[in-house]
Structure 1
Amino acid sequence: MHFVVMGCGRVGARLAHDVEAQGHSVAVIDMNPDSFRRLGPDFVGRTVPGLGFDRDTLLQSGIEQAYAFAAVSSGDNSNIIAARVARETYQVSKVVARIYDPGRAEVYRRLGIATVATVPWTSREIIAELLPTDSLPLWTDEASRVALVELPPDAGWFGQEVRRLEAATQVRVAYLTRLGQAVIPRSDTVLQDGDRVFVVVEADRRRAAVDAAAAPAGRA
């Protein structure tokens, strides 16, 4: 598959390398040709100097064959314009824009453009390192208000089936980490001592779910 990345800052350069490492072709667009030095000598993709929403620039990047387009420059306006052109003019299947203003990110998300709001995401990552594991969601879909959280269970849940915990807490267990490995459980998977449990829950029910899991099995 072919990917187009607009913006060759630290994020764009890392994204281009990560995508290329998975065997995909990549083109990187940036107004400043010097920025391509961040890609290093190992990058074998295409570099295209120019504006990420300019027709000629996009055609040079292979936008007509692109499966995905990521606008990760330092400017919100440029990212949004480029993302809309990629989606609406060239019908690119997957489009995402990096947005610094969380209010604007939410507006464009509701218009159907996937956005990554850098400031709140960074804040959540930092707080997650400072607060107890049950204090903050690992991820929240702002549009649907669904969150991914770690749910520390009471020791009484060990030896119980996953479906019992789900029923008591009204969550869906997304995955476990067991002995350092991620495991997607079945409903009859038995929880073991040392398991870390990660669940999907409605954001406004997070606190109630954490409290229910903290109660001994059968008393939640």
Structure 2
Amino acid sequence: MQIIIVGCGKVGSALAAKLSNEDHNVTVIDTNAERLNHLTDLYDVMGICGNGTDYQILERADIQNADILIAVTYSDEVNLLCCVLAKRASACRTIARVRNPIYSTGRDYIRRELGLAMTINPEHAAAREIVRLLRFPTAIGINSFSKGHIEMFRFRVPDHSPLIGQAIKDAKILQTDGLICIAERGDDIVIPDGNYVVQKNDKLSVILSPQNALKFISDVGLKTDAVRNTMIIGCGEMGYYLAKMLLNMGIKVKIIERSRERCEILAEHLHKAQIICGDGSDEDLLREEGLEEMDSLVACTGIDEENIILSLYAKNKIRQKVVTKMSRLEFNDVIRSLDLDSVINPKTITTETILQYVRAMANSYDSNVETLYKIMDDRVEALEFAIHRNSSITHVPFEDLHFKKNTLVAGIYRKNRLIIPDGQSYFVPGDSVIVVTTNTGFDEIGDILETKVRS
């Protein structure tokens, strides 16, 4: 597809890198020539220096033939205007990053009236992700497939789990409730087979249905207690959205915010929250405000280093869950070595959400990938494929198919039911299929086989 990206900040740069690597024709527009040159030197993209609201700049980017325009500058208004101009000039689809809370209540109206394919608010999306993690505090991360009917649940094996010392093929709980599809031990990541023996502190990812999640969590020795209260340290826009969602769920919220002006605004809009004006990095203040009595803590100040220190300090004091907000996309190896509980990056969530839309759009052209997650620092891909009527690998038992190395069919969603596959399983038209692999570049279901067949 022909894609135009307006804005080469962290999100725009990440999108340009990933989309160009997926063989799309990418043109990037930015007013910063230095940033633009750096991006075009690194990736196979075309760069145009200028303002995306300038119609002549859009013409130079060949807007008339573009399939999609993505506006992710730092200005909501610039993003929206870029999309309006693009829609007037062509039949392309448009995506705008819109961050200001003033637009939040009318976001659907704006999207509909301006003809946008999508608007995304990074802070709101990150807050939703944190709520999902607090729903299952023992999860490190949760990815969703088949419109929420299937989840990939990532967790650390606890000390007394019945899984410890067992080969996956011998673990009774895994015969029906879920399938382990990724195993992490130290820096090693594998797509495990049935002979993989689980050890304490392994990080495992399992495919299961949301209905089976609580039972599975309990059976593998993880705590299932619901979060009853949360402490939020630093309450910018993400913290505000998070607090509002949690209060609506009946969860008690305590906010520690350094800015008195910000506290007054929060008090005006979050009547049920307890708001403390103070320094969230002050150990005495945290002790006075009952840190050790809290079920969960979300460190979301505007400084990554402060969030990391707060999270490490609170890790052994908070009862169930510590979530760390990160803004930078760099130093993934360092962050992973710190062994934080769960890390949320609004920019990464924004990038992945936009990529999912683009990939779904590409599906109508030359791919049957419905959803794609690049996880574990892009070392693993989790894909969802749609099985079409003309696929030549339907009704063939898996035991007769030769899957590529390090590739696992982790689940089949058929007629509102999750099927954990075995050797007798097979694909039928209409299936949604979850594939986990350390390979890259799969476009259609036939790519998972050693010998490519038409799919």
Q: CA deviation at 1:64?
A: 0.7
- 5 Å-filtered alignment, 1:70-109, equals 70-87=298-315, 90=317, 92-109=319-336
Aligned pair 1:141/2:376, yes or no?
Answer: yes
Instruction: Return the alpha-carbon distance in structure 2 between the equivalents of residues 135 and 106 of structure 1.
Output: 29
Aligned pair 1:69/2:297, yes or no?
Answer: yes
TM-score norm. by structure 2 comes to 0.39
2:274 to 46, 61, 68: 46
**Kept in 2: contact 1:86–1:95 (CA 8 A):** yes
SS in 1 for 2:315: helix
Q: CA deviation at 1:140?
A: 0.8
| One-letter code aligned to 1:173 | A
1:207 to 429, 436, 441: 441
SS in 2 for 1:151: strand
Aligned pair 1:171/2:171, yes or no?
Answer: no
Counterparts in 2 of 1:164 and 1:116: CA distance versus 1, 3 Å:
farther
| One-letter code aligned to 2:282 | D
Q: Deviations over 1:118-161 (max 9, x none)?
A: 33332232233234354983241229x33322234453445566
SS in 1 for 2:350: helix
Instruction: Return the alpha-carbon distance in structure 2 between the equivalents of residues 39 and 166 of structure 1.
Output: 61
Q: CA deviation at 1:102?
A: 1.9
Aligned pair 1:194/2:430, yes or no?
Answer: yes
SS in 1 for 2:403: helix
Q: CA deviation at 1:38?
A: 4.6
In structure 1, the residue matched to 2:168 is none
Counterparts in 2 of 1:39 and 1:186: CA distance versus 1, 3 Å:
farther
TM-score norm. by structure 1 comes to 0.73
Q: Deviations over 1:2-45 (max 9, x none)?
A: 22112222211222233333343221221124434357656523
**Kept in 1: contact 2:332–2:377 (CA 8 A):** no
Instruction: Return the alpha-carbon distance in structure 2 between the equivalents of residues 46 and 112 of structure 1.
Output: 30
Instruction: Return the alpha-carbon distance in structure 2 between the equivalents of residues 48 and 142 of structure 1.
Output: 36
**Kept in 2: contact 1:168–1:212 (CA 8 A):** no
2:254 to 15, 19, 27: 27
Instruction: Return the alpha-carbon distance in structure 2 between the equivalents of residues 63 and 166 of structure 1.
Output: 54
**Kept in 1: contact 2:296–2:318 (CA 8 A):** no
SS in 2 for 1:59: helix
Counterparts in 2 of 1:59 and 1:171: CA distance versus 1, 3 Å:
same
Q: Deviations over 1:189-219 (max 9, x none)?
A: 76443333233333xx14358463577x995
Instruction: Return the alpha-carbon distance in structure 2 between the equivalents of residues 165 and 47 of structure 1.
Output: 61
Instruction: Return the alpha-carbon distance in structure 2 between the equivalents of residues 104 and 24 of structure 1.
Output: 34
SS in 1 for 2:313: helix
1:7 to 213, 231, 234: 234
Q: CA deviation at 1:98?
A: 1.3
Greater relative contact order: 1 or 2 (C-alpha under 8 angstroms, separation 6 or more)? 1
In structure 2, the residue matched to 1:129 is 357
**Kept in 2: contact 1:174–1:200 (CA 8 A):** no
Counterparts in 2 of 1:19 and 1:104: CA distance versus 1, 3 Å:
farther
Q: CA deviation at 1:171?
A: 1.4
Instruction: Return the alpha-carbon distance in structure 2 between the equivalents of residues 165 and 126 of structure 1.
Output: 37
**Kept in 2: contact 1:4–1:68 (CA 8 A):** yes
Q: Structure 2: which 5+ residue stretches go unaligned?
A: 1-227, 364-368
Aligned pair 1:185/2:185, yes or no?
Answer: no
RMSD: 3.7
SS in 1 for 2:323: strand
**Kept in 2: contact 1:2–1:67 (CA 8 A):** yes
Instruction: Return the alpha-carbon distance in structure 2 between the equivalents of residues 175 and 63 of structure 1.
Output: 43
Q: CA deviation at 1:94?
A: 2.2
- Consecutive aligned runs of 4 or more in structure 1 exceeding 4 Å deviation: 38-43, 157-161, 163-167, 188-192, 208-211, 217-220
Q: Which structure: larger Rg?
A: 2
SS in 2 for 1:207: coil
Counterparts in 2 of 1:101 and 1:41: CA distance versus 1, 3 Å:
closer
Q: Deviations over 1:29-64 (max 9, x none)?
A: 211244343576565232222222212332344311
Q: CA deviation at 1:176?
A: 3.0
| One-letter code aligned to 1:97 | T
Instruction: Return the alpha-carbon distance in structure 2 between the equivalents of residues 66 and 13 of structure 1.
Output: 19
Number of residue-to-residue matches in the alignment:
211
Counterparts in 2 of 1:85 and 1:214: CA distance versus 1, 3 Å:
closer
Instruction: Return the alpha-carbon distance in structure 1 between the equivalents of residues 278 and 300 of structure 2.
Output: 14
Counterparts in 2 of 1:68 and 1:120: CA distance versus 1, 3 Å:
same
Counterparts in 2 of 1:25 and 1:175: CA distance versus 1, 3 Å:
farther
